[in-house]
Amino acid sequence: MGLQINLEGHLALVTGATGQLGRVMARTLATAGADVVVHYHQNVAKAESLCAEIEALGRRTMAVTGEVGQKADVFAMRDAVVQKLGNPDILVTNAVSQIHPWQTVLEEEEEDYEDQFRSCVLQNVFFAKAFVPAMIEKGWGRFVGINTECSMQLFKTQSAYGGAKRAMDGVLRVLAKEIGAHQITVNQVAPGWTISDRDREQGSERSERYESTVPLARRGTDQEIANVVAFLASDLASFITGAYIPVSGGNVMPTI
């Protein structure tokens, strides 16, 4: 039998799990054997539907809601999860606040920078404070932050989003050094422009202009992103930490 991703006996929490990418990551972790906590912001119907899918796989699950950039909400979520399912040992910080349209630095409102800082940076700080102590006690844990290729590209109008994702990168690299001795890994997955169910429904999977910049000459799929998350959550990735891993078909390539 070849190598397999086996997450049985682990409890994962995915923030923004009802989103286009989050739901695929949650399903994939459950398929690999993990019990999964589904965090949602507003879409309770989608959260309940996703929980039903996870239960059908024979996994334990529950839905939680709250603002990921608010410390009180994150700690309240932790208390609810611990009471019902125990301490998560896999965290996937995927939720992000959407600000559209993106504006130039001269035009972007300061509130948008504050919003992205809470969503991208403080989310990771608060989830670390809430959930990492139990991982330290266990001597095992996985922290996977969802970053973006934009944090390397930094194109025009990406200052609020790209700047916050860069700050997220800094926080998680430091965290990786601080808690690594406890066999807790901290890594980031950085998707490119990803095909989701919305694209499949709308027939918008193709973009020749974008694909022309990608060495693999196509857009990646939500499942391809979720596969890397599951890998990083598993023991197959036990000696990888502090990494920023683009899953972008080579559209961005970190250099040495």
Query: Is the residue at 1 inside a domain?
Result: no
Q: What is the CATH number of the domain that holds 101?
A: 3.40.50.720
- Look at the chain and report how many structural domains it folds into: 1
- Report yes or no on 108 lying in a domain: yes
Phi, psi of 184 (to 5 degrees): -110, 125
What is the domain extent for residue 157? 11-247
In a domain, 28, yes or no: yes
Residue 82 in any domain: the answer is: yes
Question: Does this model's pTM top 0.75?
Answer: yes
What is the greatest pairwise CA distance in the chain?
57
Q: Is residue 253 in some structural domain?
A: no
**Digit-coded pLDDT (tens) for 125-143:** 999 999 999 999 999 999 9
Query: pLDDT band at 2, cuts 50/70/90?
Result: confident
- The residue among 77, 64, 71, 61 whose CA lies nearest residue 26 is 61
173: Cβ–Cβ under 8 A, 6 or more apart, which residues?
186, 242
Distance CA 148, CA 166 (A): 9
**Structural domain includes residue 256:** no
Q: Does residue 178 fall inside a structural domain?
A: yes
- For residue 109, tell me if it sits in a domain: yes
- Residue 206's nearest CA partner among 189, 219, 222 is 219
| Catalytic member of 40, 113, 161, 210 | 161
Our answer to whether residue 161 is catalytic in this structure is yes
pLDDT digits (tens, 9 = 90+) for 56-72: 999 999 999 999 999 99
**Does the pLDDT of residue 155 top 80, yes or no?**
yes
